[in-house]
Amino acid sequence: MVHQNDSGDGSAFVLPNEQPFERLEVEQAFNELSTQEALYTHYLGQASWYGGLIILFQTSPESPDIFRLIHALNCGEPIASLKDKSLAVGVTDTEFNAYLVYASGIYGNWGNYLGFGDSKFVPNLSENAFEKIVLASQAAMNNTGLKDVWTRVKGPMYSLSDKEKQLGLGDEGITKYFSSNCNSQDSDIVNRFLKYKNIEGWNTRVMKTIGETGTTQYEIRNAAVDKCVLSEETFENCNFKVTTGDYEALLEKVNENLIEAAKHASNDLEKKMIDEYIKSFKIGSVDAHKDGSRCWIKNKGPTVETYIGFIENYRDPTGVRSEFEGFVAVVNKKLSQIFQTLVDNAEELLPKLPWTKDFEKDKFLRPDYTYLEVVACASSMVPSGINIPNYDDIRQEEGFKNVTLGNVLKAKHGVSKSRTNFMSEADDQLFKEYKVAAYEVVVGLHELLGHGSGKLFMETEEGKNFSDELINPLTEKPLESWYKLGENYNTIFTTIGSSYEECRAESVALHLSLDSSSVQIFGHSGEDIEHIKYISWLHMAHGGIVGLEMFSPASDQWKQAHSRARFVILQVLLEAGDGFCKVEQVTGDDGKPDLLLTMDRSKLDTVGGPAIAKFLEKLQVYKSTADIKSALAMYDGYSQVTDKGSHPWLTWRDIVVNRKKHRPILVQGNTRLENEKIKLTQYDPSSEGLIKSYTDRFPSIAEITELFESVTKSEGNHW
């Protein structure tokens, strides 16, 4: 069956000229910093931004060159001048605006694949019109090499083959975490080697070559400034070489700024943390980054909060390797107190989760939970909340931190004037009134008690961390599986790991949100509590519907971990029956096909609550016991998008895509050193404002060219 928005016209793969933008407001919080704190913030921000350029090399083969091209155009002259020259050679206003939106998309997503959704986007103007802009520009006049970049990049920039439509491995999509000749079989043998060598692959990429004798060689390259060969050996009749030196030029810039940031640290823990990060980026050591993370966990209640490194593994098709990310933010101490109250009540809330104490951590490790105003965040997808570090050994035994990125949450989820898709008018009005409050509750519970709960049954060199008499509550038999020596959650759950864990955390939030005491912690009372409960659940189900756009019929795969998780939860709510949750096809006010989501709020506790509790228990037991077989059967089952049954999701996906509202691109500010003080500049929430923020951020196209050519040369011809 052909689905109109996955057809060859590419209409689903452009950013509209009406693309929304939102400014990340931070001026008030930033102005309260001392001179030392502002300097610390500035250099951490610079380290994050230079590290962010790594994401381009992790996304697609053409992303770095596209960035170079548009950045040269935008740095070469003011936008008004570029527009005048473009219009003079026949480019229309609409076409030039499409160029600005495309350039903003490249900046905002750090490449030509969406940070949320992993689908490719192409210019919403013809190749001919784009070429006119390039050739008319001052940049092309000043640099003849720019025309070569255009010639090299215009093909892949516009190409929309089935493989190129989304990120993936082998024939299923594009990835830079593996060389282009790799597939799932290559991933499997590499994973076995990593387990055999007890190597964690967070900061690695895999490059495969075939020797003259036909022998396969895999290079596992660690991100690092220094280049060296760590080991070479034969494994399963293949040659394996472990090296360092990936992204070396960019990581050197990261370290230059981290060195400066350390000079303005507030305490020894911050200095030690940065020293370990520098060491990690210099020699490619995950252990050093772990040591830095340990210092970070211990640094309680700082005024300026930060984290940087190879952190989230959402975009590696196999769920092992991580994208670079860096953020620096100012702590809102007043609102942080609310979240610390949640921490104070955690040990009363954890027993309310639907599993026995044997399946909970032996001891709740009280984290720092802060409400932040982000100054700089270099990531393909700027989150609203984070629970880090992602290292299971540290999270299980030593602790973690939770952060809510308040100004991000408000920018993404502020009140919209337009009608919310797929809701009744009454639900839409209530949704607008309580959406931000409900989302704060869900994010808080998700991060602290979702990601922060649950025990993994593991075998270590010291023995097992559980009793041999432990009974699996789902089978009522002794445990048959657990994490063996050298195994961890990522190596067992691989491709579903990120989405499965997000689903578990979201389900924890829903489960606990029905407890009024949980909502009261966030400062709500009376009738507001009941409204927030309802909107929390309605919002989650709504997310399951709108998340359908993140499913690719071409590859029969989900492209976004959170969207898949919410769709799975929606399926569970629909399965609960008794008229609790319904999705029906209707005719919209515009006469076109539409969907209507309804939820009987009187049955939240009696129908919805028990359904989620039962599902959540399975999620946790399968995770605790490393039971990937049962987890896959359940999770893949709920993830199916077909036209079978009473909910023809594959057909309904067209309705969702046709009515989708594009996520706003966030416009972040810049800090600069001026007269020994740090000044903050913020920009208009528009394509022009976002472009200006990046030309101010990286004003030297010569520097960008030199850095990129260095990394490209080091990469070789693997893509």
Any idea which residues carry the catalytic annotation?
447
Distance separating alpha carbons of residues 505 and 452, to the nearest angstrom = 9
Residue 554, judged by CB atoms within 10 A of its CB (0-12, 13-18, 19+), counts as middle
Secondary-structure percent of the chain, ordered helix, strand, coil, rounded to 5: 50, 15, 30
Helix (H) / strand (E) element for 251: namely: helix 248-262
Distance separating alpha carbons of residues 331 and 369, to the nearest angstrom = 10
> Helix 248-262 vs helix 701-715: angle between axes, to the nearest 10 degrees?
130
CA 403 → CA 158, 307, 460, distances in Å? 38, 11, 30
Any bridge partners for residue 204, and if so which? 222
Nearest partner of 686 among 100, 249, 213, 87, judged by Cα: 100
- Length of the chain as a residue count: 719
Distance separating alpha carbons of residues 52 and 490, to the nearest angstrom = 24
Q: Say which residue the tokens 């960019």 belong to.
A: 250
Helix (H) / strand (E) element for 362: namely: none
- CB of 202 within 8 A of CB of 264? no
Distance separating alpha carbons of residues 279 and 281, to the nearest angstrom = 6
Nearest partner of 167 among 114, 206, 124, judged by Cα: 114
Whether cis (ω within 30° of 0) applies to the bond prior to 389 is yes
Distance separating alpha carbons of residues 682 and 374, to the nearest angstrom = 13
